[in-house]
Structure formats: C-alpha cells, structure tokens
Amino acid sequence: MRIQVINPNTSIEMTRQIGEVARAAMSAGTEINAVCPAHGPESIESHVDEVLAGAAVLDRIAEGVAAGFDAHIIACFGDPALLAARELARGPVIGIAEAAMHAATLVATRFSIVTSLGRTAIQAEELLLRYGFERHCRRIRAVDLPVLELAEEDGCSAAEQIAKECRRARDEDAIGAIVLGCAGMGMHAAPLSAELGLPVIDGVGVAVRMAEALVGAGLFTSKHGDLAAPPPKHYTGRYAHWSAA
C-alpha cells in the first residue's frame, strides 16, 4: 500500500518530521511518501495561509493520483482543501484533524485540544462544528508558539510548553483524552501518553492507520454526489493547468 502524506506548508524540516511520525505508525508493507508544496506559506497560521496552502495541496493531490497512490493524508490541523482533494481522488483522503477527533471519541467521552497559536483555536472550533464533535470537546488550549518553532532541532522548550499545557488539560478539563492540534507536535504524542496516563492523540499517525484500514476494507472516496469529480472547465492565469484537456 502506498500513502501520500502532504504537509501543506513549504517547510522541508517539518515535512521530514511528519514523514518520520507517519512511518512510525505504518504497518509492514506500507510505503509513505511525505511531500510539501513547491509554493505557498512556510507555515499555516491564518485564514489567508490556509487558502493559499489549500490551492497548493490540490497540485500535490493531483500528482499523487497520477502516481497511483492508494490514499492521501493532509497533514495540517486545519484540514485545508480536504473536500476539494476528495473531489480529485478516488482513494481515501484523510485530514489529520478529522482523524484525531474521530479517534478521541472512540477512546474517551470528552477531550481537549492543545494547539499552537491562540488565533488558530477559532479554526479548530469551526472544524469541531463541521465534523459534529463540538459536544465532545471540553476546551481548546494553545501553547502560543509559532508552528515552525515546533519543528526546530532543539525543541526542548517547545516540548516542555506542550507538556505543561497537556498537564493542565488533564488536571482541569474533566477529559479522557487530548488531541494535539498541529502536525508538528506528532513526535510528542507517545511520551506524553506515557507520562500523563491518558491517550494523547496525534492526527498524523491515526490518519495513517485509518487510511490503511479504509484501503484494506476496499473502501474509496464516493464519486456520487458532491464529491464527484469537478465539472471540466477552462481556467486562466496561474490556474490554467487545471483546464480540461
């Protein structure tokens, strides 16, 4: 099985780390190809970043479809361009926020989210509503660290701030699980689970296992209804390559 893991920002280092987390979760016989766009924001920390990154994600999805990947993962907690990507692909396309929230409800009745910046908590709230998990989430907490600091080689300070916020969530929020709200936090999930004594969920690893399960079950993205391929039309300017042949 071949899975394409797309980091929607252009950080090579974060892409490398996401690939490592994904490979640590994969089953024997699965191949992970971690990629990022050639253009777009270096990190995704605003609505503008998300829109621009989403357009670049679709290029990577189209390339992955042409290369024959069995499934695709969008490794950003905003799940940018998720439904558009599903229009383009027949194989499963999984966003890490949706995957992590689903997983949290399967192992606990209530969870909190620990994310990077306070301003991105609003996007997380919108996703909770979109996916129907709002009543399961007690609180969205932020460590107030820029996304790229999470991927720095010397990440001791970031790790401690993430751990501190997770401890507060466990002790104050009346929850059974914690969802890490950034793909750059994935390497912290296992040690935090061991330290805190409750499930700390990284969406990248969960998405890999979900993709394997869906492909293994013979399930694919529906092409009936709104996820059917977009109608062919003419595009201009920088999007001319999307025009129908």
- For the record, the structure tokens of 25 come out as 């979760």
Per-residue pLDDT, averaged over 118-124, amounts to: 89
Same domain, 156 and 192: yes
Q: Are residues 116 and 171 in the same domain?
A: yes
Spatial strand order of the sheet with 177-181 comes to 137-142, 111-115, 177-181, 200-202
Per residue in 85-116, pLDDT (tens digit) is 999 999 999 999 999 999 999 999 999 999 99
pLDDT tens, position by position, 60-86: 999 999 999 999 999 999 999 999 999
Residue 155 pLDDT > 80: no
CB 71 within 8 A of CB 30: no
Check residue 142 and report its DSSP letter: E
If asked whether residues 123 and 112 sit together in one domain, one would say yes
Amino acid at 143: V
Are residues 149 and 128 part of one domain? yes
Q: Are residues 86 and 130 in the same domain?
A: no
Per-residue pLDDT tens over the stretch 172-212 = 999 999 999 999 999 999 999 999 999 999 999 999 999 99
**Same domain for 188 and 111:** yes
Residues above pLDDT 70, as percent of the chain: 97
Same domain, 111 and 91: no
Structural domain including 65 reads 2-95+206-242
**Within this chain, do residues 193 and 177 fall inside the same structural domain, yes or no?**
yes
As for how many domains the chain has, the answer is 2
CATH of the domain at 181: 3.40.50.12500
Clarify whether residues 174 and 224 are in a common domain: no
